[in-house]
Structure 1
Amino acid sequence: SSINDKLDNISQRLDTSERRISDIEDRVYHIENVISEVHWLREKCDDLENRAWRSNLRIVGLPEGTEGRDPVTFVEKLLVEVLGEATFPGRVEIERAHRAPCQKEGEWPQIIIFKLLRFPDKIHILRRARELGQLTFRNQKIFFFPDVSSELQAKQREFTEARHLCHSLHLPFSLLHPAKLHVSLQDGPKFFTNPEEVIRFLKRLPDPPLMSGEKSEGRE
């Protein structure tokens, strides 16, 4: 009888444990679903944010106050002066422009963000900037970059080592939107969305000759 009582007690405890485990599994499943949904919503918000900034560009390197009280007119004149009038068949139009706030006074890089009225003008600006190489304005080095979210910037920075490898191997490449590396090889182009995968691939390559008529170049 004592043994039976002990067995009954063990059986009851096992039943209780199984119910608790089942409850915990249900809660974990629910939490995992919530986390997955939150992750999806964050990616969706990030995508919408970058779509809203599709026609935006950043100018990096201009000292504070260079733009004066009318940043829109200032940027329109700067583009023509730095990139040349031939870059724009007609007048380049800026919808709005503003100075991105710095966390500390005098902090570098100092950034002006502007939104172009026409998206093709953004493409012309980036292409022309790459063609000209190092740009200067009033003896200051300046750079043009697409205006993207911090999350997308982090994803693009993950390709930094891969881009350095492409340079060292003399392989033409470009970083496509949102975060895809295009590498030109003799047997055709390859596209990578995983930074570790492209690094492994490039490290396995022999030192290939540069393709005729092509230069190693990168695009931010």
Structure 2
Amino acid sequence: MSGLDQRVATVETQVASWTDRDQELLYLRSKLIDLEDRSRRNNVRLLGFPEGIEGADLFSYLRETLPKLTEITFDPPCGISKGTQAGPQAGPQETGTPPSYHSLLAATHVGSQTATGSQNARPIQIGHLEIRISADFSKETAERRKAFLSLRSRLCQLNVKFGPFEPARMWITKNGESQNFYDPEICKCFWMGYMTSPTPWK
């Protein structure tokens, strides 16, 4: 083997090694995201509470009012492990109404029950504001959920059979075969015919 051939072979080996490492890093990153989501599974996000409505003790206010707002009977009783204000606060409005803020609540053992139950309940109104309750996810998972949601209307238009896998996956049936997708872009490429299957590690 000539010197040039040897150098080419060495470079090809290095590139293959880097590719394997990239795949391993992607896999490890997905595992870290999964662990973060698992650590948040007992959290619920409450969006749109008027500032100041909780009084001096947000913790006690949430413990008392969450069952009333959601009309959910908690069994065991709702136990709040953390109640904190989260997200950017809005400034005073021209109408003179109080600004609203995002409140993050961690409810021990009942987070998923609260988020799921409230999805089927009527909108929660406090004055002119609508309070929304949702599960709490990592930033990456929340972005993937949003991206998958944007694909749903197009899939319906194309009469593509699909469905969600929580917290942020989607399955699609094409030519009688179902595929499970972690990445919204790969999912889109698949039903458009650019790919025949998702990447193995996902």
Q: By the TM > 0.5 criterion, same fold?
A: yes
Q: Is the 8 A contact 1:192 1:198 kept in 2?
A: no
Give distance in 1, aligned partners of 2:124 and 2:114.
12
Query: What is the CA deviation profile of residues 14-42 of structure 1, one whole-angstrom value per residue up to 9, with x for unaligned ones?
Result: 82221221221122122112212211221
Give distance in 1, aligned partners of 2:43 and 2:9.
51
Q: Is the 8 A contact 1:162 1:198 kept in 2?
A: no
Of the candidates 4, 8, 11, which is equivalent to residue 21 of structure 1?
Answer: 8
Aligned to 2:45: 58
1:101 is the counterpart of 2:80: no
Give distance in 2, aligned partners of 1:126 and 1:176.
16
For structure 2, the residue ranges without an aligned partner over 5 or more in a row are 92-98, 173-177, 193-202
Higher strand share goes to which structure? 2
Q: Is the 8 A contact 1:57 1:113 kept in 2?
A: yes
Give distance in 1, aligned partners of 2:125 and 2:5.
71
Give distance in 1, aligned partners of 2:138 and 2:171.
21
Of the candidates 143, 156, 165, which is equivalent to residue 154 of structure 1?
Answer: 143
Higher helix share goes to which structure? 1
> Residues 167 and 31 (structure 1 numbering): CA distance in 2 closer, same or farther, change over 3 Å?
closer
Q: Given residue 129 of structure 2, which amino acid in structure 1 is its aligned partner?
A: Q
Write out aligned runs for 1:107-122 (5 A).
110-118=101-109, 121-122=110-111
Please tell me the root mean square deviation across aligned C-alpha atoms, in Å. 3.5
Write out aligned runs for 1:176-187 (5 A).
176-181=165-170
Aligned to 1:80: 67
Number of aligned positions between the proteins: 176
* Secondary structure of 1:132's aligned partner: coil
* Secondary structure of 2:2's aligned partner: helix
Larger Rg: 1
* Secondary structure of 1:39's aligned partner: helix
Percent identity, aligned pairs only, is: 21
Give distance in 2, aligned partners of 1:18 and 1:166.
50
* Secondary structure of 1:72's aligned partner: helix
Give distance in 2, aligned partners of 1:31 and 1:163.
35
> Residues 55 and 24 (structure 1 numbering): CA distance in 2 closer, same or farther, change over 3 Å?
same
Q: Given residue 63 of structure 1, which amino acid in structure 2 is its aligned partner?
A: P
Give distance in 1, aligned partners of 2:33 and 2:14.
28
Q: Is the 8 A contact 1:58 1:146 kept in 2?
A: yes
Q: Is the 8 A contact 1:135 1:142 kept in 2?
A: yes
Give distance in 1, aligned partners of 2:156 and 2:53.
34
Superposition TM-score, scaled by structure 1 size: 0.64
Aligned to 1:91: 77
